[in-house]
Amino acid sequence: MAVKTRKTRQSKPIPSHFPNIDQVGIEERVARLNSRSIKKDSKVKALKLALSMIDLTTLEGKDTEGKVRQLCYKALHLHDSLPKLPHVAAVCVYNSMVGIAKETLAGSDIKVASVATAFPSGMSTLKVKLQETKFAIGQGADEVDMVISRGKFLAGEYNYVTDEIAAIKEACGKVHLKVILETGELNTLDNVRKASDLAIFAGADFIKTSTGKIQPAATMPVTLVMLEAIRDHYYLTGKKIGMKPAGGISKAKQAIQYLVMVKETLGNAWLNNNLFRFGASSLANDIIMQIIKQETGRYHSKDYISID
Amino acid sequence: MPKVNTLNFNTDWQYAEAPESSDHVQLESRYGHFINGKFVAPANGRYFKTINPANEAKLADIASGSAADVDKAVRAAKKGYKTWSRTPAKERAKYVYRIARMLQERSREFAVIESMDGGKPIRESKNIDIPLAAAHFFYYAGWADKLDYAFPNRRASSIGVAGQIIPWNFPLLMAAWKIAPAIATGNTVVLKPAETTPLTALMLAKVIQESGLPDGVVNIITGAGKTGSAIVNHPGIQKIAFTGSTEVGKIIQKAIAGTNKRYTLELGGKAANIIFEDAAIDQAVEGIINGIFFNQGHVCCAGSRLFIQESVADLVIRKLKDRMETLIVGDPLDKNTDIGAINSKDQLDKIKYYLKIGVNEGAEMYQPSCRIPQKGYWCRPTLFLNCAQSHRIVQEEIFGPVLAVQTFRTVDEGIEKANNTPYGLSGGVWTDKGSKIFKVSSKLRAGVIWANTYNKFDPSSPFGGYKESGMGREGGLHGLMPYLELN
């Protein structure tokens, strides 16, 4: 397997030059984007859009089949007393739960995403990671969320990291591959840019910030750097790579700020769940609460919205 | 048909209007001059109107200053000087601090009126103009009783009455730049705001009145060029401080030649931003956008020339165009507006004149697709590509949202072209290499050089130009000197 991917690498050497990132400039741009004032109709539209982009997630050691079934039911019925609410884009679970999720969601167009490749640490061999990926796909996963080998990346072994992603991508075939950079462990925005470029080069369909297990998880500066990497790739090749910030986005206001950033960095083509997702567990309910507030003028108690 | 990899910023999801409330703003229908602590009618009884450039609606009638009004103000300032110059420094500082705090307390009202009278986006007046104006008063209040430390082993004394003439691009901020150091050091002033933007200076006069500052220390006369000329030529004035065009600066220099009036002149600019290939490109593009489109390009230190190292030129230009697509041009009071109204019809005509020149000179003009309002004075953000050093749009100050783009190959070529201008107010260097920042910025002949940022201002930092961009410095310790006799 690894031999095969190395062949493709030889025809096209991995990137050796990565654009510089100025952290101060990134933070200023984020502050400017966050100053956009989103009101009235525009706010409701953004909230519904954000709902439709959520990968409703449960990734805990104590997950049970029952919990996953409930999560899937919630994915289908976010808040049935509110008409015309979209449903989320996908549910995201461990690979042992993919079968249950698939079964529960049968007949809907909600995707099932499975984490793989020794999530969340990635500390395993390529062989084991490939096996795990194939198992998830065999169970019916529509999307695979893999993690990169951060230890190898930080040691400068970019070939290893790239080959590994390419190998998993090959195993995925038509199944969508999201590559988690775990930016909370990459330390600098320059590294975030490098890892984004390598993942895109190796065949990622989406790049994703975090596992949610490491702090900080998704941040706006990190996401902006990744969106700019996606934009540069699009300029060069015309190919659209998706983006998924995950972890730490629990408020509707944050979600709108992310949408503003996508709108002003990549434009219309990315403002849908084919190319932009939120990895989140509690965001959906905060958005529902805000939509109810927009419609009724009052905030509901949380007790009126189902937790899962 | 758009190219395959063209980004589409005309998104299905649009921002709704988000206007800043102006309910709390109360304008009077007519304003007199502020002389000797009181608002007084003009001697000749004449008024002119000030309008909102975003919708051409009249905001108020403003007294038209004649030589008689100026004379009255100078007499008041002279009288005020007798006691103010002898007031203990720490007592003077108290008044200046008080003005600073009152500006902060009323910052929202000031911001809204600044945007209504001048056309600048509320985002800028709220975040930059008003806070910085207050910061200047705070800063110079601090120096008032510490002049012995500012100038060790020298005796600093005030000089008398300062005549101050300010422009329309930063009406309140320029008033603060002028008034704060002057009165903190014991001088008194006669200030004239620009005829298109007098309102915030007159509101400042009200704040000064309420602060209890002794009568005659600050006098504000409104009017056009003739009023300014009466100030410049008045024999009772010891110092002229002017911010405005190089053309008027030269007239002032001629007028006061042979007199013993001191002067500082803050004049035009045609600043170069230089992007090297190793720069953080996306952040540099953002800096270029802010450098030229801040305040509709009505900024003397605006980065109105762009030099891009040739290996990254196509990429930078593409990114600039995409960024320009996301700029929102419109109602200055909308919180999402990036570019507001052009300050006046005269200025809009001047910008349009230069756009025509640029096209005739053979430069390639680019403007984004944004809609602009029907009424009022508007100009889309504009790029001129393939400019030559000999183009007038490269040599002359346009004072609008117009950026002239050129490329260069070597570092030396970039520096040489950047310096090839009669102006020298500011410049910008964009590179990831610290050594290059020092090498290039030490060779650029301009008063302020920003590295990997642009248009950053602070009261503690001196500001001023080389060559035809002016004489003297304002801000910082240097900004005290023009108002002091040092023995």
A202-226 pLDDT per residue, tens: 999 999 999 999 999 999 999 999 9
* Chain B residue nearest residue A237, CA to CA: B5
The pLDDT assigned to B4 comes to: 55
B295-341 pLDDT per residue, tens: 999 999 999 999 999 999 999 999 999 999 999 999 999 999 999 99
The pLDDT assigned to A10 comes to: 46
The pLDDT assigned to A308 comes to: 79
The one catalytic residue in A145, A197, A205, A286 is A145
Question: Is-catalytic flag, B300?
Answer: yes
pTM: 0.95
User: Hey, is the C-beta of A59 within 8 angstroms of any chain B C-beta?
Assistant: no
DSSP3 helix / strand / coil % (chain B, rounded to 5): 40, 20, 40
At residue A83 the predicted structure's pLDDT band, cuts being 50, 70 and 90, is confident
At residue B142 the predicted structure's pLDDT band, cuts being 50, 70 and 90, is very high
The pLDDT assigned to B390 comes to: 97
| Cα distance between residue B23 and residue A231, in whole Å | 42
Residue B487 CB burial class (10 angstroms; 0-12, 13-18, ≥19): exposed
Instruction: Read off the pLDDT of each residue in B93-98 and give the average, rounded to a whole number.
Output: 98
Domain map (residue ranges) of chain B:
20-267+469-486, 272-458
Domain map (residue ranges) of chain A:
23-304
B190-228 pLDDT per residue, tens: 999 999 999 999 999 999 999 999 999 999 999 999 999
Kindly indicate whether the domain formed by B20-267+469-486 is annotated with CATH number 3.40.605.10: yes
The pLDDT assigned to B168 comes to: 98
The pLDDT assigned to A11 comes to: 54
A101-116 pLDDT per residue, tens: 999 999 999 999 999 9
ipTM: 0.95
For strand B161-165 and strand B402-408, is the pairing parallel, antiparallel, or unpaired? unpaired
How are strands ordered across the β-sheet holding A143-147? A242-244, A206-208, A176-180, A143-147, A111-116, A90-93, A54-57, A278-280
**The CATH homologous superfamily of the domain defined by B272-458:** Aldehyde Dehydrogenase; Chain A, domain 2 (3.40.309.10)
CATH of domain A23-304: 3.20.20.70
Evaluate if residue A50 carries a pLDDT over 70: yes
CB-based contact A271 B11, cutoff 8 Å? yes
* CB of B187 closer than 8 Å to CB of B86: no
Classify each residue of B371-390 as buried b or exposed e, where b means 16 or more C-beta atoms within 10 Å of its C-beta. eeeeebbbbbbbbbbebeee
CB-based contact A39 B286, cutoff 8 Å? no
* Contact residues, A window 209-238, toward B, CB-based 8 Å cutoff: 228, 231, 234-235, 237-238
A249-263 pLDDT per residue, tens: 999 999 999 999 999
Evaluate if residue A81 carries a pLDDT over 70: yes
The pLDDT assigned to A301 comes to: 86
CB-based contact B282 A37, cutoff 8 Å? no
